[in-house]
Structure 1
Amino acid sequence: MKRSYIPDLDSVRAAQQRLQSAVSATPLEQNLAYSELYQADVLLKREDLHQVRSYKIRGSYNKICRLLQSNDKTEHVVCASAGNHAQGVAFTCSQLGIKATVFMPVTTPRQKVEQVRMFGGDYVQTILTGDTFDEANLQAQAFCQKNHYAFVHPFDDPDIIEGQATIGLELLQQSSKTFDYVFVPVGGGGLASGVAAIVKQLSPDTRIIGVEPKGAASMSVALKQGHPVKLDRIDRFVDGAAVQQVGKHTLAICQKYLHDVITVDEGHICQTLLNLYTKDAIVVEPAGALSIAGLAHYQHEIRGKRVVCIVSGSNNDITRIEDIREKALLYSGLKHYFIVQFPQRSGALREFVGNILGPMDDITYFQYQKKNNREHGPAVIGIEIKRKKDFDPLLSKMKSHSFNYQYLNDKPELFSMML
Structure 2
Amino acid sequence: MAQLNLNTIVETTPLQRNTNLSNRYSANVFLKREDLQVVRSYKIRGAYNKISGLTDEERLRGVVCASAGNHAQGVAYSCQLLDIKGKIYMPTTTPKQKITQVKMFGKDKVEVILVGDTYDAASDAAHRNSEETGMVYIHPFDDPQIIEGQATSGVEILQDFSGSIDYLFLPIGGGGLAAGVGAYFKQISPGTKIIGVEPAGAPSMKMSIEKGEVTTLNTIDKFVDGAAVQRVGDLTFKVCQQVLDDIVAVPEGKVCTTILELYNQDAIVVEPAGALAITALDFYREQIKGKNVVCMVSGSNNDITRTEEIRERSMLYEGLKHYFIVRFPQRAGALRDFVDQVLGPNDDITMFDYSKKTNREQGPALIGIELLDKDDFQGLVQRMEANGFLAEYINERPDLFQLLI
Q: TM-score, normalised by structure 2?
A: 0.98
> Offset of 1:344 from its aligned partner?
4.8
CA distance in structure 1 between the partners assigned to 2:357 and 2:327 by the alignment:
15
CA distance in structure 2 between the partners assigned to 1:31 and 1:403 by the alignment:
48
CA distance in structure 1 between the partners assigned to 2:58 and 2:46 by the alignment:
20
Give the one of 31, 41, 47 matched to 1:54: 41
Q: Secondary structure at the match of 1:125?
A: strand
Q: Secondary structure at the match of 2:380?
A: helix
| Equivalent residue letter for 1:218 | S
Unpaired segments ≥5 residues, structure 2: none
Q: Secondary structure at the match of 2:313?
A: helix
Paired position in structure 1 for 2:378: 392
Deviations 1:68-115 (A, max 9, x none): 47x465441000000000000000000010000000000000000000
Q: Secondary structure at the match of 2:323?
A: strand
CA distance in structure 1 between the partners assigned to 2:389 and 2:381 by the alignment:
10
Paired position in structure 2 for 1:11: none
Paired position in structure 2 for 1:137: 123
> Offset of 1:375 from its aligned partner?
8.6
Paired position in structure 1 for 2:95: 109
CA distance in structure 2 between the partners assigned to 1:321 and 1:75 by the alignment:
40
Runs of 4+ in 1 over 4 A off after TM superposition: 369-375
Paired position in structure 2 for 1:276: 262
CA distance in structure 2 between the partners assigned to 1:21 and 1:127 by the alignment:
30
Paired position in structure 2 for 1:181: 167
| Equivalent residue letter for 1:195 | V
**What's the % identity of the aligned pairs?**
57
Distance 1:369 1:230, change over 3 A: farther
Deviations 1:208-252 (A, max 9, x none): 000000000000110011111111100000000010000010000
Paired position in structure 2 for 1:65: 52
CA distance in structure 1 between the partners assigned to 2:304 and 2:134 by the alignment:
38
| Equivalent residue letter for 1:258 | L
1:316 aligns with 2:302: yes
Give the one of 24, 27, 30 matched to 2:14: 27
Give the one of 213, 218, 221 matched to 2:204: 218
**In angstroms, what is the RMSD of aligned CA positions?**
1.3
Paired position in structure 2 for 1:3: none
Deviations 1:135-158 (A, max 9, x none): 000000000110011010000000
> Offset of 1:373 from its aligned partner?
6.2
Give the one of 94, 108, 111 matched to 1:122: 108
1:333 aligns with 2:319: yes
Unpaired segments ≥5 residues, structure 1: 1-13
Contact 1:364-1:382 within 8 A present in 2 as well: yes
> Offset of 1:366 from its aligned partner?
1.0
Distance 1:247 1:406, change over 3 A: same
Paired position in structure 1 for 2:143: 157
> Offset of 1:345 from its aligned partner?
4.0
Distance 1:284 1:379, change over 3 A: same
CA distance in structure 2 between the partners assigned to 1:365 and 1:417 by the alignment:
15
Q: Secondary structure at the match of 1:382?
A: strand
Paired position in structure 2 for 1:43: 30
Q: Secondary structure at the match of 2:382?
A: helix
- Report the count of equivalent residues: 405
